[in-house]
Amino acid sequence: MKSNFISKFSFTLAALFALTACGTSEAPTEESQTNETAVEQNVEEENKAEEATEETEDVKEEASEEESEVAEAPNFEGRTLNVVATSDSYVPLFDEFTKETGADVEFLSMSSGEVISRTKAEGKAMADLWFGGGLDAFMAAKDDQLLEQYQSEMTDKLPVEYKDEDGYYFSKGLTVVGFVVNNSILEEKGLEAPKTWKDLADPKYKGEVIMSNPAISGTNYAALKGLLDLYGKEEGWELFSQINDNIDFYSKRGKDPQEKTAQGEFGIGIIPVDQKAFDAAEDYGLTVIYPEDGIPWVPEGVAIFKDSENADIAKAFIDFMLSEKAQNMIAEIDGKDTNQLIVPDIEGLDLGLPKDKLIEEDLSTFGSEREEILNKFKEIAGDKASEE
């Protein structure tokens, strides 16, 4: 009996050791899993900490860059930028420049032709900055060595077709040319509105068309040059000669065709088309027309006068002009369709300008052929194109 009891006790004790041994072998596995989880959590927390540190460093870097930009902003307090501009409507733009740089701005309104004539006659810079006007005048001014060269990171971003390759002038936007018609006048005389330049040459419009002198107005030089590029010189001059027969005189101010057509003095005006034209059309019962056979256009120039006293301020203004803020202001002030803007990704107005109707023009000859074209124009126009 005793032997049997000892055997049973030994068996039970062996079994107990076996179970204890099994339990001991499983415990390290659970502990290992716990340790692995802890390690993963630590790695995740370290990664998050690194990301947070990187974000903080990025914020600090951006703040540092902003502070640097502010520190590098030009300060022209107590100095004045003298500008020749095509209109006093740009006062808000110049005011913003004054706000950012401290420079006062004084300007004189003058046509492109007058700017060149006066600058050449005086033999010195008449201002620091030339703002606005047909690109042909700026090309001619470059050839006459009247302009200062300038290039910067901002001008480098401008598309090549909207700046001089040597940095003597830049564009602020496009001028496009079309018609405005007085609906009452045409209806009274039983005339339909012209849709094309060839329509405008019809003898039935004799005495009803008004156009500014292309020798004075950059816009109307663009119209003339556009016709020659559209139809070729031979056919283009023949067409213009027929249009000339319908014009009694060429006005000396660029705004005369729109104003005199609105006042009922003429049935048709050849004008720069922008929001102002559509506003006048609504106010005076006019219709604005984009010529269906082709729309002449020209980049509006901006340049620094050679040997100007404040060339450094003028250079700062050009960089400012090409900024997003300034471009948005120019689009609003000029009332331009998006297709008239020259800096990428800037939205203008929706005036229905058909981009596919813009004439394929040779801009390289806008300046070089200017004298030849204007001499031919004067030959055709005769006494109707007095500049006095």
User: Given this model, what pLDDT does residue 72 score?
Assistant: 62
Where would I find the H helices in the chain?
2-72, 91-101, 112-122, 135-143, 153-156, 183-188, 197-200, 218-231, 233-245, 256-262, 275-284, 311-321, 324-334, 370-381
CB 246 within 8 A of CB 200: yes
Across 185-196, b (16+ Cβ under 10 Å) vs e yields bbeeeebebbee
Distance CA 169, CA 304 (A): 8
Residue-wise pLDDT for 75-101, tens only, equals 999 999 999 987 888 999 999 999 999
User: Given this model, what pLDDT does residue 44 score?
Assistant: 54
Distance CA 148, CA 310 (A): 11
**Per-residue confidence of the chain (388 residues) as pLDDT tens digits?**
444 433 443 444 344 334 344 444 344 444 444 444 444 455 455 555 455 445 545 544 444 443 333 336 689 999 999 999 878 889 999 999 999 999 999 988 887 778 888 888 888 888 999 998 878 788 888 988 999 999 999 999 898 888 999 999 999 999 999 999 999 999 999 999 999 999 999 999 999 999 999 988 888 999 999 999 999 999 999 999 999 999 999 998 888 999 999 999 999 999 999 999 999 999 999 999 999 999 999 999 999 999 999 999 999 999 999 999 999 999 999 999 999 988 888 888 999 999 999 999 988 888 788 889 999 999 999 999 976 6
* Cα separation values, 214 from 21, 218, 221, 271, 378, Å: 108, 6, 4, 12, 9
Distance CA 221, CA 131 (A): 18
Chain centroid to CA 48 = 44
Name which of 115, 361, 110, 101 is nearest 223 in CA terms: 361
Q: In 10 A of CB 109, how many CB atoms?
A: 14
Chain centroid to CA 293 = 25
CB 175 within 8 A of CB 296: no
User: Given this model, what pLDDT does residue 64 score?
Assistant: 42
CB 317 within 8 A of CB 81: yes
Distance CA 185, CA 284 (A): 12
Q: In 10 A of CB 305, how many CB atoms?
A: 25
Look-up: residue for tokens 């004298």? 371
Q: Which tokens sit at 214? A: 């292309």
Distance CA 131, CA 325 (A): 17
Residues 6+ apart with CB under 8 A from 230: 197, 236, 293, 294, 296, 359
Q: Which tokens sit at 3? A: 């032997």
User: If you write DSSP's letter for every residue of 276-334 in order, what string do you get?
Assistant: HHHHHHHHHTEEEE--TT-B-EEEEEEEEETT-TTHHHHHHHHHHHTSHHHHHHHHHHH
CB 189 within 8 A of CB 309: no
User: If you write DSSP's letter for every residue of 5-58 in order, what string do you get?
Assistant: HHHHHHHHHHHHHHHHHHHHHHHHHHHHHHHHHHHHHHHHHHHHHHHHHHHHHH
The model's pTM: 0.73
